[in-house]
């Protein structure tokens, strides 16, 4: 049995779950998300818990079992608390401005770099920190990864965009002649 899939999901107050044929809708105080129903799994709401079971014991069914439960759990957390990731900009001359849906960054290129977030994701800036927040965990992670990819941190001086909790392994420069 899947270690993740067999755990029930507690439904917080204020969250409603609607199980359909092709998708499961999770609505809460922050918004609404829909999760597709994975093949060979069955989802049922029993009291204040969501139970995910699989139809047979095939290897493919076992794989879908844990995924279905994880996606549902992320949707429940998203509509109640939401998700956020923080990025930090390091570098001389690097600047950051804007908030809400779009930001503009000076990252050492000959032109300013503009980034516009997709629907459902909000960007907040504070000095040299960008906070990406939203209710969909996948979208928040994707936007944070796209912003980081604009100027990845380099290992010699550490200049670039990195996650706040990321550790950049530094390399020594040239040794020189003796």
Burial readout 131-155 (b: 16 or more C-beta within 10 A, e: otherwise): bbbbbbbebbeebbeebbeebebee
CB-CB contact of 104 with 117 (8 Å):
no
110 vs 175 pLDDT, higher one: 110
For residue 57 the two structure tokens come to: 């014991």
Beta bridge mates, 44:
51
**pLDDT tens by residue, 148-162:** 999 999 999 889 999
pLDDT of residue 4: 83
Kindly tell me if the per-residue pLDDT of 14 is higher than 80.
yes
**Burial of residue 20, with CB atoms counted within 10 A of its CB: 0-12 exposed, 13-18 middle, 19 or more buried:** exposed
State mean pLDDT over 73-90.
94
The candidate with the shortest Cα–Cα distance to 100, out of 119, 113, 81, 86, is 119
Average per-residue pLDDT for the chain: 90
Q: How far apart are CA 65 and CA 160, in angstroms?
A: 39
Kindly tell me if the per-residue pLDDT of 57 is higher than 90.
no
pLDDT band at 2 (very low <50, low <70, confident <90, very high): low
Kindly tell me if the per-residue pLDDT of 1 is higher than 60.
no
Domains parsed from the chain with CATH numbers: 9-80 (3.90.930.12), 83-163 (3.90.930.12)
Kindly tell me if the per-residue pLDDT of 128 is higher than 60.
yes
Q: How far apart are CA 26 and CA 177, in angstroms?
A: 64
Kindly tell me if the per-residue pLDDT of 39 is higher than 90.
no
Give 83-117 as a DSSP string: EEEEEEEESTT-EEEEEBTEEEEE-SSSS-EEEEP
pLDDT of residue 176: 73
pLDDT of residue 59: 86
State mean pLDDT over 155-171.
90
What does R_g of the chain's alpha carbons equal in angstroms? 21
Please state whether beta strands 129-134 and 160-163 pair in parallel, antiparallel, or not at all (unpaired): unpaired
Kindly tell me if the per-residue pLDDT of 178 is higher than 80.
no
pLDDT band at 10 (very low <50, low <70, confident <90, very high): very high
**Which residues lie closer than 8 Å to 154 by C-beta, 6 or more apart?**
160
Other Cβ atoms within 10 Å of 172 Cβ, number: 7
Kindly tell me if the per-residue pLDDT of 69 is higher than 70.
yes
State mean pLDDT over 40-46.
89
The enclosing H or E element of 71 equals: helix 59-80
């Amino acid at each position: 049995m899947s270690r993740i899939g067999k755990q029930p999901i507690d439904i917080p107050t204020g969250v409603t779950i609607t199980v359909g044929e092709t998708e499961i809708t999770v609505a809460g105080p922050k918004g609404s998300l829909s999760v597709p129903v994975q093949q060979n799994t069955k989802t049922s709401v029993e009291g204040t818990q969501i139970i995910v079971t699989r139809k047979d014991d095939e290897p493919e069914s076992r794989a879908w079992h844990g995924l279905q439960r994880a996606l549902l759990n992320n949707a429940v957390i998203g509509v109640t608390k939401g998700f956020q990731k923080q990025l930090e900009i390091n570098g001389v001359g690097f600047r950051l401005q804007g908030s809400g849906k779009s930001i503009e960054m000076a990252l050492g290129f000959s032109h300013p770099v503009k980034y516009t977030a997709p629907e459902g994701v909000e960007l907040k800036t504070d000095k040299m920190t960008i906070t990406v927040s939203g209710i969909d965990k996948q979208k928040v992670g994707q936007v944070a990864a796209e912003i980081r990819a604009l100027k990845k941190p380099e290992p010699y001086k550490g200049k670039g965009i990195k996650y706040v909790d990321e550790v950049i392994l530094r390399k020594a420069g040239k040794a020189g002649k003796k």
